[in-house]
Amino acid sequence: MAASLVPGIVLAVGGGLAAVRTATGEERVAKFAGRLDRRPVAGDRVGLLLEDGDGGRIDVIEPRATELRRQQRMRSEGERAMKEQVLAANAECVLIVASIADPPLRRGLIDRILVAGWRGGMTPLLAITKRDLADRAGEPPEQVLADYALIGVEGVCVDVRTAAGAQAVHALIAGRTAAVVGHSGVGKSTLVNALTAGGQTTGAVHELSGRGRHTTTTATWIDTPDGGALIDLPGIRSFSLAGIEPADLRHAFADVAEAAEHCRFRDCRHVGEEGCAVADAVDPARLASYRKLLAELEEG
């Protein structure tokens, strides 16, 4: 990084501007240099050229240690196209927030974020909310947690409105930087507020919003009292995978991969072939999710 540049971290992005915090704790609203090869996102480490007043310019985006990516459907000239979108950078873990009911838990959505998180270098964690509504659920939350524990995903089921619930989730992230993602309506905002002692964004983020930049539609960095941080993503309704190959499903579907080792057909794809050992060994919901993702990836 050039000596004239100050290291900083991106807190939020809106339009062509970003809220950036420097290593000394100073916050500025910065524009982007025209030569950047990619758009900055929350969590990016950047080189900032300080300008008069409280302005600045992002001249360098440092290589990312991790990133959470998805495909976003865009409208272009009357046609729909898919564009790759980086949601957050340099998070150590991705906290997937899903409610057990109202809205119902969607294993397929969880599986997609698991795949993207592992592929992007992050540790996936699972927080199932609305424990008080477990009697309305299609399956017990304990079973959901047990199934994901089998593939190495730590998780808790909580009522995030209670102190005990927030503490249980806090113990999962334990001072790390966590990207927080979940379907709209699952209680993610309530959880973020509890984990960040009110979910207060900083001055530069407020200034960005005050300039008419829609920071509510992008990720926002929020500090936690224990020295960690949350990168709070807006509620999502879908999550299309980006940069994923069929082989990348192996980690998120380790149960399928293990059962496949015992399949008597060496060329079996485990998508309904007669006599396939996987169909008998793997939970039907898990297998259906795997097959759906595999089909999407193979279709391109």
Cis peptide before 104 (omega within 30 of 0): no
Are 277 and 154 in contact by the 8 Å Cβ rule? The answer is no
What's residue 76's pLDDT?
58
What's residue 217's pLDDT?
65
What's residue 208's pLDDT?
73
Least confident of 44-53, 168-177, 226-235, 291-300: 291-300
Burial of 76 (0-12, 13-18, 19+ CB in 10 A): exposed
Question: Which tops the pLDDT comparison, 217 or 17?
Answer: 17
Inter-axis angle of helices 284-299 and 107-119, to 10 degrees?
Answer: 60
Mean pLDDT, residues 68-75 taken together: 82
Per-residue model confidence as pLDDT tens digits over 99-124: 999 999 999 999 999 999 999 999 99
What's residue 267's pLDDT?
74
Tokens in use for 161? Answer: 């409105």
Residue 178 to residues 114, 126, 191, 195: CA-CA distances in angstroms? 14, 12, 13, 11
Are 40 and 46 in contact by the 8 Å Cβ rule? The answer is yes
Task: Look at residues 232, 236, 161, 234 and name the one whose alpha carbon lies nearest to residue 200.
Answer: 232
Which contacts of 146-155 are long-range, i.e. CB under 8 A and separated by 24 or more positions?
A: 147/283, 147/286, 148/110, 148/114, 150/254, 150/255, 151/251, 151/252, 151/253, 151/254, 151/255, 152/254, 153/114, 153/124, 153/125, 153/126, 154/125, 154/126, 155/125, 155/126, 155/127, 155/128
Return d(Cα 139, Cα 101) in angstroms, integer. Answer: 10
Residue 106 to residues 39, 115, 164, 228: CA-CA distances in angstroms? 31, 15, 25, 28
Return d(Cα 122, Cα 113) in angstroms, integer. Answer: 11
Single-letter amino acid code for the residue at 278 = V
Tally of CB atoms within 10 A around 142: 11
Mean pLDDT, residues 6-35 taken together: 94
Q: Domains in the chain and their CATH numbers?
A: 91-232 (3.40.50.300), 246-299 (no CATH)
The three-class DSSP label of residue 266 is: coil
Torsion 22-61-233-159 (CA) sign: negative
Per-residue model confidence as pLDDT tens digits over 205-229: 767 765 544 444 679 999 999 999 9
pTM attached to this predicted model: 0.90
Q: How confident is the model at residue 66 (pLDDT cuts 50, 70, 90)?
A: very high
Tokens in use for 181? Answer: 């993602």
Q: Which residues pair with 14 in a beta bridge?
A: 17
Burial of 231 (0-12, 13-18, 19+ CB in 10 A): buried
Residue 254 to residues 96, 123, 258: CA-CA distances in angstroms? 19, 15, 6
Return d(Cα 104, Cα 133) in angstroms, integer. Answer: 10
* Cβ-Cβ contacts under 8 Å for 215 (sequence gap 6 or more): 12, 13, 14, 19, 205, 208, 209
Tally of CB atoms within 10 A around 46: 26
Return d(Cα 204, Cα 181) in angstroms, integer. Answer: 23
Residue 285 in this model has a pLDDT that exceeds 50:
yes
